[in-house]
Structure 1
Amino acid sequence: MRKILVVGAGQSGLQLALGLQSQGYEVTLMSNRTADEIRSGRVMSTQCMFHTALQHERDLGINFWESQAPRIEGLGVSVAGPDGGRAVDWVGRLGGYAQSVDQRVKMAGWMETFARRGGQLVIHGAAVSDLDYFSRAYDLVLVSAGKGELVSLFERDADRSPYSAPQRALAVAYVHGLGPRPEHPDYDAVRCNLVPGVGELFVMPTFTTSGRADILFWEGVPGGPLDVFRGVRDPAEHLSLTLELMEKYTPWEYARATRVELTDAGGTLAGRYAPTVRRPVGRLPGGGLVLGVADVVVANDPITGQGSNSAAKCAASYLDSITAHGDRPFDEEWMRGAFDRYWDTARHVTKWTNAMLGAPPEHVLGLIGAAGAHQPVADRFANGFNDPADFEDFFYDPERTAAYLASVAGA
């Protein structure tokens, strides 16, 4: 039986560990926190998973909260106008519903499932020196811990990483008491509110430790008026700042948030990081090799909501590559090939996310505006969050955009 070590217990690490376990591999999972510590800790993300990523969980039978989490059936875009109103406002319907489950709930539950099914769970914050030892004891070591010392094992890929500094300052609040959007009170949707030159506010339904909730998520241009959360430690102050900014820049969202309260004392998060693609193979001091997983090697800004989706897709791709390899050694050539197979999907996410971080060109502004007049455009844009590869056909090139809009207008 082949022995595999997975370091890191996030979406990708746990999904991969559970998938390998189900295929009969001897799997060790290393986490720096216990399930109880994760469950009672601070929120970790603003995950919203779309149909393809959710299906990977269903395929493994680990979609434990699907009946409890809100079904997100739409994705809407609003663009703030100079008068404080909305210059653009529309919602596209998703072909398959999306869902968000607080990673405190999911990761704790998955970790307990892994242990209950006989997996070896090690609670230890791994260092490079640890991996030097483990690389000799396991057939394959996978690093899915996207922060800390271990990331330094993986060299930045400058050709695929156009940004060397954070492009947004991030601030998250999980709340109860948010009212519905009056445009679609009968179904849930993620709302993307764009404030030109300032940043973005995302509002999404979620399932958290205390049940149904909503996430208020500001992405601010660094140094701009939204970049005010650094150093804020008090959760109440964090929420107050969030609401003040909503009242000023997205009053239509603030109107349904006047009675919100934090879900819990750990329901806020703030930070920033530079979007980075890294080379997939890490070489240890002793000569051993490790393979980077998900945001260890492809870390995009969350502006397009792809983090947990990419993690799920990476875990599914790596699982296929591992099981198809049989008893052959997991050498450097295989590691690079496994990453290249995942990159065929991830490259579309990276291209789209990096494009959304910049000022939108005129043809993209026209596309977003046209979605308000043509429902098929809104629907296609919304479903691009599930399949970013589709943006190649109508988003980046002005001529393709024009041809697509002409075909819709003439239909």
Structure 2
Amino acid sequence: MRKVLIVGAGQSGLQLALTLLENGYDVTVMSARTPEEIRGGFVMSTQCMFDAALQHERDHKLNLWEDETVKVEGLGVSIAAPDASRALDWFGPLDAYAQSVDQRVKMAGWLDLFEKRGGKLVIHGVATSDLNALAKLFDLTVVAAGKGELVQLFDRIPELSPYTTPQRALSLAYVHGVELRPEHPDKAAVRFNIIPGVGELFMIPAYTLSGNCDIMFYEGIPGGPLDVFSDRPGPQEHLDRILELTKQFLPWEYERSRNAELTDARATLAGGYTPVVRNPVGQLPSGALVLGMADVVVANDPITGQGSNNASKCAASYLDSILARGDKPFDAEWMQGAFDSYWEYAQHVTTWTNAMLQPPPPHVMQIIGAAGQIPAVAQRFANGFSDPTDFQHWFLDPAKTEEYLGSFA
């Protein structure tokens, strides 16, 4: 029985661990926190998983919260005018619903499930020195912890990493009390609100420790009016600032969230990180090799909501590569090949996400405007969040945009 060590207990690491167990592997997961500590901690992320990623969970019976989690039925886009009115507003339906489960709920639940299914769980923060001794005990060591010292094992790839600083200041709160948009009172949807030159607000229906809720998630251009959380305010002050910004810049969203209350005392988060692509093969001082996955090797800004989706798809891709390897060694050539198979998909997400961080070029403004008049355009944009490989065919290239929009003339 082949032995695999996975360092990190997030979406990618635990999905891979659980699916390897299902295929008869001896799997050990190292987590810095117990399930109880995760449930009792601060929120760790935003997330909205679209159908293609959700299907991986269904395929392996990991969709433990699907029945009770609010179904996200579409994506709405609004652009604020200088006077804080709506210059543009439209809604694109999803072909299949999306869902968002608080990682405190999911990762704690998956850790419990991992142990129940026979996995070995070790609660211990892992440094390079720890891994140096541990890696030789396993056939394969996978690093799925996207933050901390271990990331330094994987070199940044400059030609695939155009940014060297965070492109957005991030701030969020999980809240109860947000009303549905009055123009769609029967549809829960992610709302993508653009404040030109300032940043974005995403309103994400979600499920947390206390049931269904909404995530108010700001992405602020660094140094701008939304970048006001670096002093790490307390939870209530954090929410008060979010609501005040919403009242100032996006009054239509403030109107339905004016009665918002935090879901719990640890329901806020602020920070930022630099988008980066890294070499997937890390070498320990002992010479042993380790494989990076998901955010360790491809970290995109959350402006396109792809973090958890990428993690799920990376775990599914790595599972296929591991199973196909059989009894052969997991050497550097295989590790690079496993990453390359995932990168065939992830490169499209990275290109799209990096493009969305920049001021929209004229052809993208054409698309956004056309989507308000042509339902098929709005629907195609919304469903691209489940399959971002589609954007290369019509969204990212001006000539292809002209051809696509011309087909509706």
Q: Into which bin does the TM-score normalised by the smaller protein fall?
A: over 0.9
Q: Once the 2 structures are TM-superposed, how far is the Cα of residue 241 of structure 1 from its aligned partner? A: 0.3
Report what 1:172 is aligned to. 172
**Equivalent position of 2:319 in the other structure:** 319
Q: How many residues align?
A: 409
Counterpart in the other structure of 2:390: 390
TM-superposed CA distance for 1:296, in Å, is 0.4
Structure 2: how far apart are the matches of 1:383 and 1:406? Answer: 20
Amino acid at match of 1:360: P
Task: Look up the equivalent residue of 1:46 and give its one-letter code.
Answer: T
Q: CA deviation at 1:48?
A: 0.1
Q: Which residue of 2 aligns with 1:215?
A: 215
1:231 CA drift (Å): 1.3
Question: Residue type of the partner of 1:17?
Answer: A
Measured on the aligned residues, the alpha-carbon RMSD in Å equals: 0.6
| Partner in structure 2 of residue 305 of structure 1 | 305
Measure, in 1, the Cα distance between the counterparts of 2:175 and 2:408: 39
User: 1:117: Cα distance to partner?
Assistant: 1.2
The residue aligned with 2:150 is 150
> Residue type matched to 1:309 in 2?
N
How far apart are the structure 1 equivalents of 2:341 and 2:87?
41
Contact 1:376 1:408 in 2 (8 A): no
SS in 1 for 2:257: coil
Shift of 1:8: 0.1
What is the letter of the counterpart of residue 156 of structure 1? R
Report the Cα distance in structure 1 between the residues aligned to 2:99 and 2:408, rounded to whole angstroms: 29
Residue type of the alignment partner of 1:24: G
SS in 2 for 1:408: coil
Aligned to 2:257: 257
Question: Which digits, 9 at most, give the CA deviation of each residue in 1:312-336, with x for residues without a partner?
Answer: 0000000010011100000000000
CA offset digits 1:64-93 (Å, max 9, x no partner): 000011110100100111221111100100
Alignment of 1:400-411 (within 5 A): 400-409=400-409
Q: Unpaired segments of 5 or more residues in structure 2?
A: none
Distance 1:318 1:138 in 2: 17
Is 1:133 paired with 2:133? yes
- Report the equivalent of 1:88: 88
Please report the TM-score for the alignment, with normalisation by the length of structure 2: 0.99
Q: Report the Cα distance in structure 2 between the residues aligned to 1:43 and 1:383, rounded to whole angstroms.
A: 27
Q: Is the 8 A contact 1:6 1:27 kept in 2?
A: yes
2:64 aligns to what? 64
Query: Are 2:9 and 1:13 aligned?
Result: no
The whole-number CA distance in structure 1 between the counterparts of 2:214 and 2:7 is: 30
Q: Any stretches of 5+ residues in structure 1 without a counterpart?
A: none
CA–CA distance in 2 between the matches of 1:408 and 1:73?
25
Match of 1:2 in 2: 2
Structure 1: which amino acid aligns with 2:12?
A: S
Tell me the SS of whatever aligns to 2:408.
Answer: helix
Instruction: Give the drift of 1:118.
Output: 1.3
- Residue number in structure 2 paired with 1:331: 331
CA distance in 1, matches of 2:95, 2:18: 28
Amino acid at match of 2:352: W
Equivalent residues in 2 for 1:175-324, closer than 5 Å: 175-324=175-324
Aligned to 1:358: 358
Amino acid of the structure 2 residue aligned with 1:191: R
* Aligned residues of 1:144 and 1:296 also touching (Cα < 8 A): yes
Secondary structure of the corresponding residue to residue 256 of structure 1: helix
Q: Distance between the aligned counterparts of 2:354 and 2:408, measured in 1? A: 27
Query: What does the per-residue CA deviation read over 1:238-284, in whole Å, with 9 as the maximum and x for residues that have no partner?
Result: 00000000001111100001111000011000001100100000000
Task: Provide the C-alpha distance between the structure 2 equivalents of 1:130 and 1:235, rounded to a whole number of angstroms.
Answer: 35
Task: Tell whether the 8 Å contact from 1:179 to 1:256 is kept in structure 2 after alignment.
Answer: yes
SS across alignment from 2:256: coil
TM-fit CA distance, 1:232: 2.4
Contact 1:72 1:98 in 2 (8 A): yes
How far residue 384 of structure 1 moved from its aligned partner, in angstroms, is: 0.5
The equivalent of 2:39 in structure 1 is: 39
What is aligned with 1:119?
A: 119
Alpha-carbon deviations, 1:17-43, whole Å to 9, x = none? 000001000000000000000011000
Mapping for residues 45-56 of structure 1, pairs under 5 Å: 45-56=45-56
